[in-house]
Amino acid sequence: MNLNYELLTDLYQLTMAQGYWASGKKDERACFHMYFRHNPFDGGFSIACGLAQLAEMVETFHFTPEDRSYLSQLKAPGGGPLFEEDFLDWLCELELSVDIDAVVEGTPVFPNEPLVRVVGPIMQCQLLETALLNCVNFQTLVATKAARVCLAAEAPVAEFGLRRAQGIAGGVWASRAAVVGGCASTSNVLAGQMFNVPVSGTHAHSWVMAFESELEAFREYARIFPNNCILLIDTYDVEQGLENAITVGLEMKERGEKLLGVRIDSGDLAWLSKRARARLDEAGLPDCGIVLSNDLDEHTIRSIKGEGAKIASWGVGTKLATAYDQPSLGGVYKLSATYNEETQTWVDRMKVSEQVSKLTFPGVLGIRRYYHDNGKIAGDMVYDIHSAVNAEERIVDPADDLRQKVLGGKEFVELLQPLAREGKVVLGAEERDAMAARTRAQEALETLDETQKRILNPHSYPVGLEEGLSVRRRSLAAKLRGLE
């Protein structure tokens, strides 16, 4: 979408930028990482998403004369302009020169491992923070919700939450993220156009109400759309609606056409769908599917299926597009290292907190994902790319030093892949394509153990710090707290 990404930021990013500029630190190199601390929805995994929009942000990032004019009008609380004119002039000449590496969209990811690494002049890294978090947090959240819904459904899911999404941009990017997470289609036509994803939809209750009778409405819709005919049968009475749909379905069958399905959008969905299935079979329409909608999520879908309902496809709207039961992923973006030009080395940086869970990770970090011989994932190692990995390839739980795992001898892949180099996007077309990301997600979810994909009480997946990095972190934390 056509957004001014350079101003999609918190004001303090710009005040810090002027601070770096004024103090002579604007070109000092730094490393930041974006990660989250807990899987959303009490789940066992998350699906990385939002990197295509991040690439768009990098490509279009540039302060315009209009941006300058606006910023020059901002006043400091104590009086006078907030920003210096020379700084604003310099800002308009800024061209990004950062290197960005990220987990490819559609990849299952877990707490405490970086989804994005940004290396470059500290001021530039800082200016990207807010928009980067906005892109990746929201879309990873929705893609994860979609994956959970689709795993529960085990049948095609259509996303149609646009009318209740958080604004236009939220609705469009939520639709894309839902497809990345596994949805077969979206009702959002703009998202279909922008991202080349499948769109789907038939008619609403208003179509039925616009005719003198339900049967007339069904017949007319079948006449106009013989190849896209799913009839919504709960406008007045589900049982009567079903009988009218059967009448039309049999008429279509005589013409060599096919009633694709009936949709139920209210009432006791499990009970009504089972009755509808029996009646359709009895009437000679066994290939007419049943589509369910109405405030569905992974939990209601699981419950309906548990009662024995045979559903051809599902429509999921509000609770998917809004990530209804968890409003935010909670991803953070933290400084982890700065570069010392004199010694030509990276210097560890770390935020120390009263909460152990909020101690950050020092270094310039990468992720190795290890695999068992059967193709299932075995564990992820967060390590410093400029330091040697211990011989055993041992990982240590960042929250509990006693929880360790040896991964040596197993095959592994590097999860962080180049997204931009010297400020120029190098991400390929396939890595930016929503349908390719959807395929990656489906294939990658097969590498998880079934216990990690459970909707309730999933088994936790081992993500740990490389042993040497764990020791460095512990030592630096002690030093910063004055214990060494």
Asked whether 359 and 477 are in contact (CB, 8 A), the reply is: yes
| pLDDT over threshold 80, residue 483 | no
pLDDT of residue 2: 66
pLDDT in tens, 359-413: 899 999 999 999 999 999 999 999 999 999 999 999 999 999 999 999 999 999 9
The arithmetic mean of pLDDT across residues 437-448, rounded, is 98
Angle formed at CA 298 by CA 296 and CA 304, multiple of 5 degrees? 70
Q: Which domains does the chain have, with CATH numbers?
A: 5-61+96-143+327-480 (3.20.140.10), 144-321 (3.20.20.70)
Tell me the C-alpha distance between 183 and 311, whole Å.
15
- Per-residue DSSP letters for 178-198? HHHHT-SEES-HHHHHHHT--
Q: How many CA atoms lie within 13 A of 236 on its CB side?
A: 16
Query: Residue 16: what residue type?
Result: M
pLDDT of residue 353: 76
Considering only CA atoms, which of 181, 198, 171, 258 is closest in space to residue 222?
258
Residue indicated by tokens 């990849």: 107
The four Cα atoms 174, 461, 441, 315 give a dihedral, to 10 degrees, of: -50
140/358: higher pLDDT: 140
pLDDT in tens, 403-429: 999 999 999 999 999 999 999 999 999
| pLDDT over threshold 70, residue 484 | no
The arithmetic mean of pLDDT across residues 348-353, rounded, is 91
Q: Rounded to the nearest 5°, which phi and psi values hold at 412? A: -145, 160
pLDDT in tens, 108-144: 999 999 999 999 999 999 999 999 999 999 999 999 9
Residues, the chain, total? Answer: 484
pLDDT band, very low/low/confident/very high, at 58 (cuts 50, 70, 90): very high
The arithmetic mean of pLDDT across residues 302-306, rounded, is 97
pLDDT in tens, 21-50: 999 999 999 999 999 999 999 999 999 999
pLDDT in tens, 6-16: 999 999 999 99
Tell me the C-alpha distance between 127 and 10, whole Å.
9
pLDDT of residue 33: 98
Q: How much of the chain, in percent, has pLDDT values that exceed 70?
A: 99
pTM exceeds cut of 0.75: yes
pLDDT of residue 1: 57
Asked whether 49 and 180 are in contact (CB, 8 A), the reply is: yes
Asked whether 83 and 75 are in contact (CB, 8 A), the reply is: no
The arithmetic mean of pLDDT across residues 433-439, rounded, is 98
Average pLDDT in the chain: 96
Tell me the C-alpha distance between 48 and 160, whole Å.
21
